């Protein structure tokens, strides 16, 4: 199924720089797709640290199990990603497939299997024949390059309609530190770690525990702040690799102020990638920022924002360009969080549609209708109870979502 490029796609894509100590290659292994790359091998110089956040699904994929087991080691020599088959819910075969893939990659790269990180995305429940990687990975190991990043970004796509790239450069101790990131994901994007796959690479010399803390922190306001359809993938993976090639003293502690500086740059990249995932939400025609303020706590605000952003009725109203605040009230009411109907204020953009629990006296349906025709919308809800606030990013629910997901396997 060839999908048209999302109308919300960025007009141009980032062109991240080469990252010293990272080289990669892609191949057509024919796992599921024909005529496109579907395998990525990224190889890291010795000394590369790794950190990551993985799905909270209690039925994770075999690759997730593998990464969870090896992340505590803190070092990585290679990343192997395939698209087309998620190797999830494949039982013992899945575990064997992951082990075999790691062995093949370790042999090709010359390292221990535990330093190989793996991710798979695509259909769930189909065994992944790892012998397909035999020969392929060795071949890739002989053709490694440092750019362009669009190649790995393309190789990891499934129902994505555009490749997702981001970059940031930050000066630390007078040295330019680079971060390159790629991501894929457009459906099954949901609570608690909301992407299928994202990989970030930097030349910063940063200890694995520090990297882990920064990735976890900034994941909260990026990938954990988006939702397309409320469905949580079995394969959600965010991994960050730091080669340490930049000529600055190692960042070994979170209390080192340089960790904060680096973290800000990392945050930029993660946020950029997460927004691209929403912009490629399956069938999306509107990009929607949901801001909740005045809740009893930030956590309460986040739960209310998620109830709004996940509501099929709110999402279909937005698709229909209908400023239907009644459905927003419904979603606030179902969130199970402290709320007082008669204190709610609801605005679409700067147009306050409801205040103190009823339609705003100065509300103009025409102005609201005109606003709803835009493809970048902000929905603001003030609960009127406290200082808690949260922002979530989502998209509308359209016929396109049904088209894509009513026929994915066939």
Residues 343-362 that bind its own copies (CB under 8 A): 344, 354, 356-359
Q: Using an 8 Å Cβ cutoff, are 15 and 167 in contact?
A: yes
Residue 332 is a binding residue for its own copies (CB under 8 A): yes
Q: Does 333 bind its own copies (CB under 8 A)?
A: yes
Distance CA(85)–CA(124), nearest Å, equals 7
Q: How far is the CB of 224 from its own copies (least distance, A)?
A: 14
Q: CA 177 from chain center: how many Å? A: 23
Cβ-proximal residues to 370 (8 Å cutoff; 6+ apart), any chain: none
Tokens of 24: 């990669």
Is residue 227 within 8 Å of 309, Cβ to Cβ?
Answer: yes
Residue 195 a catalytic site member: yes
Q: How far is the CB of 323 from its own copies (least distance, A)?
A: 9
What residues contact residue 357 under an 8 Å CB cut-off, 6+ apart?
340, 341, 342, 343, 344
Q: Check binding of 124 to its own copies (CB under 8 A).
A: yes
Instruction: Considering only residues 170 through 199, tell me which ones interact with its own copies, judged by CB under 8 A.
Output: 187-188, 190-191
x/- mask, its own copies, residues 48-87, rule CB under 8 A, reads: -------xxxxxx-------------------------x-
By CB under 8 A, residue 1 contacts its own copies: no
Site for its own copies in 24-53 (CB under 8 A): none
Q: Which residue(s) pair with 44 in the sheet? A: 22
337 binds its own copies (CB under 8 A): yes
Residue 81 three-state SS:
strand
Of 316, 367, 370, 378, which lies in the binding site for its own copies, with binding defined by CB under 8 A?
Answer: 316
**Residue 16, both tokens:** 């991240």
Question: Binding of its own copies at residue 11 (CB under 8 A)?
Answer: no
374 binds its own copies (CB under 8 A): no
Count Cβ neighbours within 10 Å for each residue of 140-175 and write b for 16 or more, e otherwise.
bbeeeeebebbbbbbbbbbbbbbbbbbbbebebeee
Which among 230, 158, 150 has a CA at the least distance from the CA of 196?
A: 158
Contact with its own copies (CB under 8 A) among 292, 319, 351, 381:
319
Contact pick of 334, 364, 374, 376 for its own copies (by CB under 8 A)? 334
**If we measure between CA atoms, which residue out of 227, 153, 243, 241 comes closest to residue 197?**
153
Is residue 230 involved in binding its own copies (CB under 8 A)? yes
Q: Which stretch binds its own copies (CB under 8 A): 75-83, 214-222, 307-315, 373-381?
A: 307-315
Shortest distance, position 368 Cβ to its own copies, whole Å: 11
How far apart, in whole angstroms, are the C-alpha atoms of residue 159 and residue 208? Answer: 32
Residue 145 region by backbone torsions, left for phi larger than 0, else alpha for psi between -120 and 50, else beta: beta
Catalytic residue among 195, 289, 394, 398: 195
Q: How far is the CB of 142 from its own copies (least distance, A)?
A: 35
Q: How far apart are CA 147 and CA 23, in angstroms?
A: 8
Q: Which is nearer to its own copies, 2 or 58 (CB)?
A: 58
Segment 247 to 276, residues that bind its own copies, using CB under 8 A: none
Q: Which is nearer to its own copies, 86 or 207 (CB)?
A: 86
Q: Cβ closer to its own copies: 27 or 308?
A: 308
Residue from the set 38, 115, 203, 229 that interacts with its own copies by CB under 8 A? 229
Report, as residue numbers or ranges, the catalytic residues: 195
């Amino acid at each position: 199924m060839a999908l048209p490029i999302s109308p919300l796609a960025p007009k141009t894509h980032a062109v991240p720089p080469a990252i010293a100590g990272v080289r990669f290659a892609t191949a057509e292994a024919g796992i599921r797709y024909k005529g496109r790359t579907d395998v990525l091998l990224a190889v890291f110089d010795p000394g590369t640290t790794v950190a990551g956040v993985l799905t909270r699904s209690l039925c994770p994929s075999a690759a997730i199990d593998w990464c969870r087991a090896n992340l505590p080691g803190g070092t990585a020599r290679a990343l192997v990603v395939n698209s087309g088959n998620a190797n999830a819910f494949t039982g013992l075969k899945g575990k064997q497939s992951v082990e075999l893939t790691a062995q093949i990659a370790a042999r090709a790269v010359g390292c221990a299997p535990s330093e190989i990180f793996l991710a798979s995305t695509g259909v769930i429940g189909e065994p992944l024949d790892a012998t397909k990687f035999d020969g392929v990975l060795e071949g890739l190991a002989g053709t490694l390059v440092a750019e362009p990043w669009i190649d790995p970004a393309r190789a990891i796509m499934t129902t994505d309609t555009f490749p997702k790239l981001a970059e940031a450069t930050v000066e630390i101790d007078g040295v330019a530190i680079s971060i390159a990131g790629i991501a894929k994901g457009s459906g099954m994007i949901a609570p608690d770690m909301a992407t299928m796959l994202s990989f970030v690479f930097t030349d910063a010399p940063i200890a694995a525990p520090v990297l882990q803390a920064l990735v976890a922190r900034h994941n909260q306001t990026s990938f954990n702040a988006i939702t397309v359809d409320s469905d949580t993938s079995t394969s959600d993976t965010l991994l960050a690799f730091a080669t340490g090639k930049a000529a600055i003293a190692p960042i070994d502690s979170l209390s080192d102020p340089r960790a904060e500086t680096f973290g800000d740059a990392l945050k930029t990249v993660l946020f950029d990638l997460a927004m691209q995932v929403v912009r490629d939400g399956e069938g999306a025609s509107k990009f929607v920022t949901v801001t909740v303020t005045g809740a009893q706590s930030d956590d309460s605000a986040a739960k209310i924002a998620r109830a709004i952003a996940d509501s099929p009725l709110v999402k279909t109203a937005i698709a229909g360009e209908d400023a239907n605040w009644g459905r927003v009230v419904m979603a606030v009411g179902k969130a199970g969080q402290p709320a007082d109907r008669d204190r709610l204020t609801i605005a679409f953009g700067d147009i306050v549609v409801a205040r103190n629990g009823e339609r705003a006296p100065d509300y103009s349906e025409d102005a609201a209708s005109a606003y709803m025709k835009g493809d970048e919308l902000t929905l603001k809800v003030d609960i009127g109870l406290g200082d808690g606030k949260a922002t979530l990013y989502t998209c509308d629910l359209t016929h396109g979502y049904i088209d894509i997901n009513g026929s994915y396997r066939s």
